[in-house]
Structure 1
Amino acid sequence: MSEAYWQSVMQAGMEVPADRSLDECTVELVEMLGHPNPRWREDIAYPLLTTWITKGVYDELLSGLGDGIVPGLRYGLGHDGDLSVLRRSYSALMLAEIIGRDNNEHLMTSDSVLAWGDSATAWYVREQDHRGWVPEQGWANAIAHGADLLAALARSRHFGRLELTVLLDVIADRVLTPTSYIWRHGEEDRLAYAVMTLLHRNALDAGIVEPWLARLGAGIQVPRTRGHIEAEWPSPSVRNTSSLLRALHLQLALGVQGRADLRADAELFAEQPAHRADLILAVLDQIRAESPWLYRPTTRAKPVT
């Protein structure tokens, strides 16, 4: 259909058109998620699908909708610098909305959501195109949209201690994997928020989280060969990892809040994560170790015996 047709749908309250079937509309809108024109992708397809999900239009069809979105994560995977990233990125963002609906309404089985989680994490660690803003095409933002998807999965009742641990590992894999891109559009904040969502579940104790932080810290320490710093340091992945640690420290220190449209977030984010004070110190240990020449050494207070 023409852009004018879809604009008329937007202007008429974003209701499902009466002259076309929901299935026909959905197929076309899902295809538009990869459209190179941001007006079609960002101003029509994404807001319409999100509105219909929120209104419950797909509640009886949510499993099929998610299954139809997932192949978009694999579309052109491995390519870098072309337009295929738009389909992958907006498929991730849409899947996050679908999982968010299940988080609110408890509509899905564990098998479906866990399968989506497998597809999401497999895509995220393999995504090569880290561009944020693309001239003429608008936002690609695969790293940020993937972080939103991980945060949606982190909220899911279908994800227990094991699955949440896997999400942590996926985040570490993502930031430590070499890339030519330095994140410039708040990707580290969105990833840190996904980590905070995991921590607010209070299913992961310090024995899991602190070694994970140490893994990130090891990735940003200056390597030396025969006493000399290796060339091209810090690399983009080191910068991104360092930025994530700093963003996580700030979010732990200030606290974060949930989304107003997710009812369970009010309870999930009502209190600070367990072991917050210890986690702040653990993050600071990694940040300090990155530049030991700069920061004053500190030691953690020993417990009174």
Structure 2
Amino acid sequence: MRRRSLALVALASLSAPALSAACPPLGLDAEGLAALRARDFVIEDADRREAMAVQWLDCLASPDPAWRDGGAYEALSAWLRGDALRPEARQALMERLIESLRTPAPDPDGVRAPFEALVLAEIARTDRIAPWLDAAQRQRLVDAAAGYLAGVRDWRGFEPGIGWRHGVAHGADFAMQLALNPALDRAQLDRLLEAVAAQVAPQGAPPYTHGEAERLVRPVLFALQRGQHDEAAWLAWLATVVAAAPPADAPTEATMLARRHNLRVFLFVLHGTLATSGSPALEARVPAVADVLRRMP
């Protein structure tokens, strides 16, 4: 019992400098990682598993996708989806990741924040599957998801050698897991939808070519399935999305073309997803999207 208490105290009290230790964790080498992956990251000892979970956080900033994606993310996802981390450990990880997103450390490769958001999506999922957070903690997740997604300004997707960054898609995944949670109220869903709208066609973004539109549509779809938005609210949200469109007389510049491209792709994906959802309630939202598309310059 004392061993468990000490482990959890250490986990919860880690400071930011303590999380700057080198990756990989616990002296793990490539051969050890391969063995760990081969056994689906099973570690029988709970204290050792939770200590490694904290150490994996450093690898979320690794420029090597084998450690960042194949190690840190896969391990944390396996443990969170397998209910292998106790609530105290999940809480400590959540707070550390939220704080890191709020006050990011230098990250020249631009990989840490997108993967922190992706791990937070997995933590949010655990609360959706079996509620364990209180209302204030859940609000912290909503604020973190909305703030991160709306604030993405590194739009790089996949790059050979370094792998995925994919900040927009990972932020959308974070928002999606929260939108699926029946504990969220209308105001929280609106906060997430505002963040999605802000990232559909932001000024300065390149043409999205890495599936960003598909991922951005998902939290919208699941928010609508909650049945808390009437037609007036739906039209008002669509209006905020369309507000990102350049005016018809905008000069022909790369940034304007990219915004128009991103907006049209998002609307086409949204239209197709709603129309083929098999849900009468979602299909009823299609005409408004079709009307917006017809009126776009």
TM-score grouping bracket, smaller chain normalisation: 0.7 to 0.9
- Percent identity reads 26
The equivalent position to 2:268 in structure 1, one of 246, 252, 260, is: 246
Whole-Å separation in 1 of the counterparts to 2:236 and 2:46:
57
Shift of 1:31: 1.0
Are 2:56 and 1:56 aligned? no
TM value normalised by structure 1 = 0.81
Specify whether residues 120 and 13 from structure 1 end up closer, same or farther in structure 2 by C-alpha distance, changes over 3 A only: closer
Pairing of 1:88-237 with structure 2 (within 5 A)? 88-220=113-245, 222-224=247-249, 229-232=250-253, 234-237=256-259
Structure 1: gaps of 5 or more residues: 256-270, 292-305
The equivalent position to 1:281 in structure 2, one of 244, 262, 287, is: 287
Number of aligned residues: 268
Shift of 1:90: 0.6
Whole-Å separation in 2 of the counterparts to 1:195 and 1:47:
26
TM value normalised by structure 2 = 0.83
Runs of 4+ residues over 4 Å off in structure 1: 17-20, 75-79
Q: More helix per residue: 1 or 2? A: 2
Write the deviation string for residues 194-242 of structure 1: whole angstroms up to 9, x where unpaired: 1101111111111111111123234326333xxxx42317432232122
Whole-Å separation in 2 of the counterparts to 1:117 and 1:19:
29
Contact 2:267 2:293 in 1 (8 A): yes
Aligned to 1:65: 93
Specify whether residues 66 and 174 from structure 1 end up closer, same or farther in structure 2 by C-alpha distance, changes over 3 A only: same
Contact 1:9 1:17 in 2 (8 A): no
Matched AA of 1:281 = P
Matched AA of 1:253 = A
Matched AA of 1:73 = L
Q: Give the SS at the match of 1:235.
A: helix
> Quick check: 70-79 or 126-135, which moved more?
70-79
Shift of 1:136: 0.9
Q: Give the SS at the match of 2:61.
A: coil
Pairing of 1:16-55 with structure 2 (within 5 A)? 16=43, 18=45, 21-55=48-82
